Chains A and B, each alone.
Chain A
Amino acid sequence: MSKRVRLKRPAVKAPTGIAGFDSITGGGVPAARTTLLVGGPGSGKTIFALQFLVHGARHEKEPGIFVAFEETPARLVANFERFSFNIGELVPKRLYFMDAQPAPDLLRSGDFDLSGMLAALGAQAAQMGARRIVFDALDIVLSMLPDEVTRRREVYRLHEWLLAHEFTGIITAKAGLTEADSRGPQPFDFMQFMVDCAVMLNHRVVLGISQRNLRVQKYRGSSFDENESPFVIGHDGFDVAMSRTQNRADNLVSNGRVTSGVKRLDTMLGGGYYRAASVLITGFPGTAKTTLSGAFAEAACRRGERTIVVSFDSDGSEVIRNLTSVGIRLARYVDSGVLKMVSARAITGSAETVLVRIKSLAKAHRARCVVIDPISTLSSAGNELTAHAVAERLIDWCKADGITLVCTSLLDETSTNHNGGTPLQVSTLADTWIHLNYLVQAGERNRGLSIIKSRGTSHSNQVRELILSDSGVTLADTYTAGGEVLMGTLRWEKESAIRAAAEVAEVETRLRRLMLEAQEAELQQRLKSLHTELIAKQVEKALLIRTRASRKGETSRVSLRLRELRGADVIVPRRK
């Protein structure tokens, strides 16, 4: 007994090992008290309870006893083989299954009680030093009791016994199928008042999709998250979704940038995406969302960062093949193990299940970058209510783990509400939101890319044309005309028009120059001929003067000679 006293003090709560549940309740179920676990058939009561015992036995040094009213211990152990609990190594020293099934041929005559079982349990517990006890499907044995009064009496007896021995107990009991059914008094209502903690598990089917929820109904002396928390039962047992209000991931804010895989897009974003940011790429079908996310994945792999691509639309190999056509080659990274392609069509079930699967895959792959294409699948029929919360938790989880998340989201072209809002409203949560759409201009559809928001970065406000070619993804130069960005052939026309104009201008310049040269040459020529003419004139002038002088002399000589010849005039002797 001294051992119990020693153990009692420090632990106020007994961890269940169910991560989400322990954080909702701030540490687990109340230690040395009783917790009631109520749920319909197949809601996971037994798994929860067993996980609680396994965790106690393995990690808390608290051996446990599982009292099975509904199934034989052998069958229970066999059923739990498929989980990762590895019950075999705990049984029977640290985990003991007590068969408490009423024998089928058991006859009942008059009143009875559970003292025998408690006595046997006490003996077993003392023998193995058990601290945790689970009564699974207590309702089975209670229903054998003749009336309500004796039922109550036995439940109180059990409860008192648990308290007296300071066992941390879980009692599971069946309840109405849904909460809506529970209008009338529930068969074991009084238990909920008696225990210190009550947890409801429910399993709903919404439009064919199974949705599991856990809700802490009461917890004496402790605060707890009162909302329903979705959970999934996987290989490791329970996985309860943690709510935002509790473990908010405010840590790990990074200033590092990672490339988007498209150089010009990086420039538009002022250097790429932030590391550990969540990027949303929205667009109608065929707007190259997958291609853009593929470019990101390729760039991440090139840096050697482990990446996981979850594709809901097509198989991994198809995605790889399709991306090869635009020069994104992922196959080699798959071969080297850096990249993991997951076809999520194989994952059936609720959005919650998908999230858990993605998380466990990413953890197993130690992924630093996650691509989900498209995330809008989460909100498919039956998941409308939960998908937003799931997406929220996905983003939180990525942030907390420093994972850069790129998810695409389909916009429903037919929906009236397509002015940018996504069905999931992830857009408000995402750090960077890139929108791809078709711009119809001059009888063409062209892909336009615009950055709607990018928190913490200055980013371009320009709508750019996204061009896919076999050499890769790129953004075209921007031409605007009349307030519109030109795309497709219009852009091409504009480009060639500009080219032609440039050519014309070039030719014109050359022609003009030639003409000027010609004029210059002509002028030079004229200058030369004028000069020549000038010389000619000068020569002519000189000649004229000389001619005139000689003629003058000639004339006087002639007249002298004439006079001499006539002899009539006095000849004046020539003066020389």
Chain B
Amino acid sequence: MSRPPLFKFKLYTAEDTENSALAYANLLAICKAHLEDRYTIEVIDVVRHPQRALADGIRMTPTLTKLSPAPSRTIVGTLSQTERVLVALGIEHEEPTTVKRRVVQRAV
């Protein structure tokens, strides 16, 4: 059995805005639930480090970037739709319903 991959995340936030805090909380919850200790999260506050935002091309906050494992993915928003985020990040998980998997495209 191969060793499960390590997930590296960067989360760009804007000071202590509500959606940034929410995104961080959601990310943490997902990681704890599905990745145990196979993850690292770097949080970058663009207000304090605008040069990072400029260099990394960050336009919206909060923005989550998955650096590894490949492929890298970027998700914008509070990460509140857990199912969708899990699929996008490629995190294996127990699916609540297999049918819904494709339908959840434009949930608001």
Q: Which residues of A contact B (CB under 8 A)?
A: 99-100, 102-103, 105-117, 119-120, 122-124, 141, 146-147
Contact = CB atoms under 8 A, between A and B. Distances in A.
A107 B47 contact: no
Interface stretch (B1-9, B34-42, B72-80, B92-100): B72-80
Given A103-B74, A115-B17, A110 B81 contact: yes
Interface of B: 12, 14-15, 17, 19-20, 22-23, 26, 46-47, 49-51, 53-54, 57-63, 73-81, 84-85, 88, 108
A107 B53 contact: no
A101 B22 CA distance: 24
A109 B14 contact: no
Contacts of A111: 19, 22, 77-78, 80
B53 A108 contact: no
29 contacts: A105-B74, A107-B73, A108-B75, A108-B77, A109-B78, A110-B19, A110-B77, A110-B78, A110-B81, A111-B78, A112-B61, A112-B62, A112-B77, A113-B19, A114-B59, A115-B17, A115-B47, A116-B12, A116-B14, A116-B46, A116-B60, A117-B59, A119-B14, A119-B46, A119-B49, A119-B61, A120-B46, A123-B50, A123-B51
Given A106-B76, A108-B76, A109-B77, A114 B54 contact: no
B59 A109 contact: no
Nearest to A110: B78
Contacts of A99: 57
Contact of B76 (A107, A120, A122, A124): A107
Given A120-B50, A123-B53, A113 B14 contact: yes
B60 A124 contact: no
Contact of B59 (A102, A110, A122, A147): A102
Contact of B14 (A103, A105, A115): A115
A345 to B, nearest CB: 49
Nearest to B108: A146
A113 B61 contact: yes
Contacts of B26: 110
Given A100-B59, A116-B46, A109 B54 contact: no
Contacts of B76: 102, 106-109, 112
A112 B78 contact: yes
Contacts of B19: 110-113
Nearest to A99: B57
| Residue among A111, A113, A116 facing the most chain B CB atoms (10 A cut-off) | A116
B86 to A, nearest CB: 10
A440 B63 CA distance: 85
Given A115-B14, A115-B17, A117-B59, 12 more contacts: A107-B76, A111-B80, A112-B19, A114-B60, A116-B12, A116-B53, A116-B61, A116-B63, A119-B50, A119-B53, A119-B61, A120-B54
